[in-house]
């Protein structure tokens, strides 16, 4: 319950920020073009708070936080007093109307740049994209690393961490070949000044991705491509014991070191977990080391049901988190100008990948199952906020770019649909007939409702 409340809270915060930015774009340009704005509303439905400003605009926070709107004076909506006709939106020339409509999505892109700029100024601790092996018969199997190997570029674009690799792979879905440049970690200099030299000494492989597809709900593009991500090994030292768990009942304490189970020496934490999960309600004789003394404990894993409905054993412990080697860590941090440059580049990358993904929805290379609705966004907001301000800013930038792109789609009802009509008017010199516009808006509303229904269905499917 607390997780749901937390996710909902951060969802409302994220959507509130992004909607305010979007609508303020419309509002700011409308005012500069001499249009009278009657209401600036964040949310729909019943007003929870409202106030009239000195400019005559009513500012509103409404009950349903799934959007917002800027109500401008318009003869097509209501009768406008003669002395205010010059402030009506419909009386402005076509280029002013285009500017007002386009300002909302543009504000979203500018906000993404701003959020990422702040993020890079703060600094983003991350991990270099290093893998240790590849899966046989996978697209990546032509790469046979003999040691931890770093990905330097994907599809000709430089990548610095796994997030950037992931974005490039998503953008490459549907391609027949995918070039990936890699370099063994041991051959690289520790100095950032030698970064260009490292890029030059990397080897590029052409991966055959003609039949490469993956289900985003079950796996990431990284693992589906056949890359085994390098992860430091967990030490067999207990860092946390859950109260009233099987481990606590067996007398296992924080700081204990697991040496063996049932007379067999400990090999890896993964093997230990697998043994526990397959031993529900069965006794395990665990040898531990505590303060230099060797102790045996009888451990009986409790039976629990996992997400797949399978009964597994659980003891309620967590190991010490492994430390990443220094040469595998990276801090994405820049000065004022460098942060801005990287923020613009990142925003462009997010925009490019999003546009490619939308195009591939129509070609069938990306399944409609990948569409996400408000539930998935709420979960993403909550998870990103858990990791702190830096990750939350990154999440806001991604959603802001997505919101900007979606609103620019040439679908009547959305900003892009209005822009399409105004561009036609600018080219032909005549406005699109109102009857044609009305039909377009009906079709657009139906299409938008269908997309929202699919997204919500996907959300609920992921919850089940």
Catalytic residue at 434? no
Domain extents for the chain? 238-319
Question: What's the rounded Cα separation, in Å, for the pair 425 and 412?
Answer: 15
CA dist list (Å): 333 to 93, 124, 336, 340: 45, 6, 10, 11
Question: What's the rounded Cα separation, in Å, for the pair 317 and 243?
Answer: 10
Has residue 424 got a pLDDT over 80?
yes
Element (H, E) at 201: helix 195-201
Q: pLDDT tens digits, residue range 267-324?
A: 888 888 999 999 989 999 999 999 989 999 999 999 888 766 788 989 999 898 888 8
Q: How far apart, in Å, do the first and last CA atoms of the chain sit?
A: 16
| Comparison of pLDDT for 163 and 213, the residue scoring more | 163
* Residue-level pLDDT at 18: 92
Has residue 118 got a pLDDT over 90?
yes
| Comparison of pLDDT for 263 and 8, the residue scoring more | 263
Has residue 93 got a pLDDT over 90?
yes
For residue 60, give the nearest of 27, 32, 84, 105 by alpha carbon: 27
Burial of 393 (0-12, 13-18, 19+ CB in 10 A): buried
Question: What's the rounded Cα separation, in Å, for the pair 17 and 399?
Answer: 11
Question: What CATH class has 238-319?
Answer: mainly beta
Q: Which two tokens stand for residue 386?
A: 């858990």
Q: Which two tokens stand for residue 145?
A: 């690393």
Q: pLDDT tens digits, residue range 384-400?
A: 666 678 888 988 998 99
**Active-site residue (options: 23, 235, 296, 326):** 23
Please name the residue that has the structure tokens 């699109």.
432
For residue 166, give the nearest of 378, 394, 375, 339 by alpha carbon: 394
Phi/psi at 218 (5° precision): -115, -25
Residues of the chain with pLDDT > 70, as a percent, come to 87
């Amino acid at each position: 319950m607390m997780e749901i409340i937390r996710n909902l809270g951060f969802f409302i915060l994220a959507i509130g920020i992004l909607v305010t930015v979007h609508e303020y774009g419309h509002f700011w340009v409308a005012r500069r073009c001499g249009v009278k704005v009657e209401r600036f509303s964040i949310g729909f439905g019943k007003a929870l708070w409202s106030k009239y400003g000195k400019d005559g605009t009513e500012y509103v926070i409404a009950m349903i936080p799934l959007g917002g709107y800027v109500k401008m004076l318009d003869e097509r909506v209501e009768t406008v007093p003669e002395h205010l006709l010059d402030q009506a939106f419909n009386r402005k020339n076509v280029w002013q109307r285009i500017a007002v409509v386009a300002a909302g999505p543009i504000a979203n892109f500018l906000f993404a740049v701003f959020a990422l700029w702040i993020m890079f100024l703060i600094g983003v601790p991350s991990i270099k994209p290093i893998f240790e092996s590849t899966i046989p018969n996978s697209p990546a199997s032509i790469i046979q690393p003999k040691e931890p190997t770093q990905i330097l570029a994907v599809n000709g674009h430089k990548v610095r961490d796994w997030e950037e690799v992931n974005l490039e792979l998503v953008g490459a879905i549907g391609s027949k070949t995918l070039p990936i440049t890699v370099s063994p970690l041991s051959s690289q200099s520790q100095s950032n000044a030698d970064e260009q030299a490292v890029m030059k000494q990397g080897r590029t492989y052409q991966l055959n991705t003609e039949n490469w597809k993956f289900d985003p709900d079950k796996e990431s593009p990284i693992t589906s491509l056949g890359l085994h991500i390098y992860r430091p090994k967990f030490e067999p030292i207990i860092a946390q014991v859950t109260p009233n768990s099987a481990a606590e009942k067996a007398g296992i304490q924080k700081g204990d070191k697991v040496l063996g189970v049932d007379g067999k020496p400990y090999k890896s934490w993964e093997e230990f977990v697998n043994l526990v999960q397959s031993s529900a309600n069965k006794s395990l004789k665990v040898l531990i080391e505590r303060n230099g003394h060797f102790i045996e404990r009888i451990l009986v894993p409790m039976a629990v049901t996992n997400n797949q409905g399978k009964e597994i054993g659980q003891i309620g412990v967590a190991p010490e988190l492994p430390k990443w080697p220094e040469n595998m860590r990276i801090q994405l941090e820049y000065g004022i100008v460098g942060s801005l440059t990287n923020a613009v580049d990142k925003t462009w990358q997010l925009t490019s990948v999003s546009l490619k993904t939308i195009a591939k929805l129509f070609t069938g290379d990306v399944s409609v199952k990948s569409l996400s609705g408000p539930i998935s966004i709420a979960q993403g907001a909550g998870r990103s906020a858990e990791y702190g301000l830096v990750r939350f800013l990154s999440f806001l930038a991604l959603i802001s770019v997505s919101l900007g792109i979606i609103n620019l789609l040439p679908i009547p009802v959305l900003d892009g649909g209005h822009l399409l009509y105004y561009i036609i008017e600018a080219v032909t010199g005549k406005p699109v007939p109102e009857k044609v516009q009305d039909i377009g808006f009906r079709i657009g509303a139906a299409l938008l409702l269908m997309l929202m229904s699919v997204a919500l269905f996907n959300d609920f499917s992921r919850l089940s």
